[in-house]
Chain A
Amino acid sequence: MASDDPHEDSAHEMPKYDYSATRRDFMLKLGIGINAIAGALVGIPIIGFFVSSIVKANQPTWVSLGSIDQFPENTTRMAVFLNPYRTQADGTTANVPCWVKRENGENFTVFAINCAHLGCPVRWFEQSKLFLCPCHGGAYYEDGSRAAGPPPRGLFVYEHKIEKSELNIKAGLLPTLANPA
């Protein structure tokens, strides 16, 4: 069958030819040069776009959790705030929860919900005064310090301030060990 085709065997035989220092050679080098520049012009915006989340990183910013009156003294309650860097497509993920502990007066501590081990959501148990994590069983005391389990530290704490009887926290970043709130 293959012998039916007269071109098959000779298709790749070419005459020997010296391409160096010819117009062909110049055009080839010019082509490589132009495309190197073009490649950079396409590549730089792509890489810039991909790493823009760190180059123009959003810093934590002050977010209000509302009036301090909604947190009775000697309680720990969940508060939910809207992520300051939310977009329309975020849906429910723009709601960020945190645990607000009010000891007395203006004495507050605001904990991130994320366990210091692997970021799972810790849950407050009022009766035993413990935060328990559902993933690997991390446990924290009322003051956020590590009680048991694999977490390497206590709960992440948001910086907070009270202005005009409103509780504000510095938030907007996912708290991890690299960036503890």
Chain B
Amino acid sequence: MMSTLRNVALWLERRLHLTKLWEQTAGHPVPASSGSWFYTFGSMTLTCFAIQIVTGIFLAMAYVPSAAESYHSLELLNYSIPLGWVLRGIHFWGSTCMVIVMMLHMTQVFLWGAYKYPRELTWMTGCVLLVVTLGLAFSGQVMRFDSDAYWGVGIGASVAGRIPVIGEALVQILLGGPIIATNALSRFFSLHVFILPGALLAFLGVHLRLVLGKGINEPPKPGVLVKRETYEKHYGEIIKREGVPFVPAAINKDIVASGVLILVIVGLALFVGPNGPGTPANPTIEIADAKPDTPFLWLFALAALLPNGSEPYLFFVFPTVASLLLFLLPFITNEGEKHWRRRPVAVAIVVLSYLGIGLLTYEAITGPWSPHMDAWSGLPIKAEYVKERTPLELQGAVVFQEMQCRNCHAIAGEGGHRGPDLTRVATRMTNPQLVRQVIQGGGNMPAYGRNLSPEQVRALVAYLCSLHPANVPPAREAVGVLKPIGESQPTPSPTPVPVAVKGEK
């Protein structure tokens, strides 16, 4: 029996040369010291990709890539097809985790100086893989084709429409037609299911071939510099001294980390569940809060926070320069120190990038620049901010609420955060200043002069002037005597304009 098995194995070996293949791939020599937890992120990314392919294939059996049917097919997956919701959950969380561990992998490679000579091309193909993965994440969000996805495509089209000369053509190519409809979904479907996974597999092949060909980076030691003339010999000596076959000697931690990652992904899928679909993609429901998925929130936040007119820089100059810098990094610093302790600039870049992206993502989640669209009708002013007010001030509170001021201005933290919180506004601004601000606007506030009657302005400002703590006096004019309009003018001015002029003195 044993000899028969041995003969079958030998027969296969003579035809497939598996031993040779094994020695050149899974069993290739790596430095024993590279069997570290820090070296597991690459295989974790690969694990995520494998999960995405498998779950993606099965999801495609139920998903219908048509604007009329996609939403329904997702609901079927969520509620009718047995375990469809689990597959959707695993696919969604697998995607999120893939982006995260890929970023960690990249950070580790950057901090360990692994991109330097002779592994430039490994880094560059890695950069392409990052872009493709982000493309998959974005097109995957479009597959949901709910209201978020619909307006997300709209944002994509608007960005493309800002490109000079070719903008219009690019919008039509992106949408596959004149408007966001089923052709747009189909184009993103092709991208998500055929083009990008194909590209990913192709570049992954090159990436892994390079990892095998150039060897895994040895954990750097401070003071040991990379030199083009001597590095290959140096690496050869390391392998001679402490080389072990990747399988089975160095893969142990990769297997543990990948296993835990799969458990985390499945756990998230089971206990948090799949993402959406949200409101159906019906453009006539204008109560939409179009936000991209997590990996793109920081860009969304930048679009809101950067000054007007910076969009061309944000959408074209910044991505082009950033990806060029990233792509060409191995040629900017090709030799020298690898250890992060001797590379303060590299450490600073990592810390600042993580802080920046983290803070921007937080900002995007809280979205302080977006008006709180329902605050005026859904958030009553708390009693303590209306009690013991005069009838005029109470009328002002009504104006404040009815004119949607709450959508942008919070009182006691409740309401929109687009404009300043007005809980203590009377301590900062005087009556004439408030009148001017309400009527003329400015500082990113619309002018209400045309939409408010003088009586409404007087009541509103009277109410705003009552918004100060009992122990803090309201603000006063620094120069001259200006009587509050509410008290000094028995008859309202015929038009709001003279009031504004008076307030400006």
Contacts and interface: CB of A to CB of B under 8 A. Distances in A.
Interface stretch (A13-21, A30-38, A46-54, A67-75): A46-54
Interface in A2-59: 2, 4-5, 8, 50-51, 53-54, 57-58
Given A54-B172, A118-B159, A147 B446 contact: yes
A81 to B, nearest CB: 10
B178 A85 contact: yes
Contacts of A54: 168-169, 172-173
A128 B406 CA distance: 11
A99 to B, nearest CB: 9
Contacts of B13: 1
A144 to B, nearest CB: 13
Interface size class, chain B: 35 or more
Nearest to B407: A132
B141 to A, nearest CB: 15
Contacts of A152: 308-309, 311
A89 B69 contact: yes
Interface residues of A, number: 62
B66 interface: yes
B418 interface: yes
A139 B69 contact: no
A130 to B, nearest CB: 6
B178 A125 contact: no
A135 B370 contact: yes
B252 interface: no
Nearest to A150: B308
A137 interface: yes
Contact of A178 (B168, B280, B373, B402): B168
B451 A132 contact: no
B171 A178 contact: yes
A179 B171 contact: yes
A149 B446 CA distance: 9
A149 B154 contact: no
B289 interface: yes
Contact of B282 (A87, A92, A141): A92
Which of A50, A129, A133 lies at the interface centre, i.e. has the most chain B CB atoms within 10 A of its CB? A129
A114 to B, nearest CB: 7
A93 to B, nearest CB: 5
B256 to A, nearest CB: 31
A94 to B, nearest CB: 6
A86 B71 CA distance: 18
Interface stretch (B14-22, B37-45, B469-477): B14-22
A120 B20 contact: no
B38 to A, nearest CB: 35
A135 B364 CA distance: 10
Contacts of B71: 91
A174 B178 contact: yes
A176 B171 contact: yes
Nearest to B23: A2
Contacts of B173: 50-51, 53-54
Given A8-B17, A132-B407, A179 B168 contact: yes
Given A1-B13, A130-B404, A137-B371, A178 B161 contact: yes
Interface in B271-328: 280-284, 286-290, 300, 303-304, 308-309, 311
A167 interface: no
Interface string B445-464: 11110110000000000000
A110 interface: no
A57 B451 contact: no
B162 interface: yes
Nearest to B145: A93
A16 B282 CA distance: 69
A65 B434 CA distance: 42
Given A1-B13, A91-B69, A176-B171, A136 B369 contact: yes
B83 interface: no
Contacts of A120: 151, 154-155, 288, 290
Contact of A172 (B178, B290, B448): B178
B171 A93 contact: no
B167 A132 contact: no
B25 interface: no
A148 B304 CA distance: 12
Given A1-B13, A50-B173, A139-B446, A118 B303 contact: yes
B286 A90 contact: no
A155 to B, nearest CB: 13
B176 A53 contact: yes
B286 A97 contact: yes
A173 interface: yes
Interface of A: 1-2, 4-5, 8, 50-51, 53-54, 57-58, 78, 80, 83, 85-97, 113-114, 117-123, 125, 127-130, 132-137, 139, 141-142, 147-150, 152, 172-174, 176-179
Interface of B: 10, 13-14, 17, 19-20, 66-69, 71, 150-151, 154-155, 157-163, 167-173, 175-183, 280-284, 286-290, 300, 303-304, 308-309, 311, 369-371, 373, 376, 402-405, 407-408, 418, 441, 444-448, 450-451
Given A118-B159, A120-B154, 5 more contacts: A123-B286, A136-B304, A147-B447, A148-B444, A150-B311
- Per CB-CB distance, the 5 closest pairs between chain A and chain B, nearest first, are A176-B161, A91-B68, A178-B167, A147-B446, A119-B158
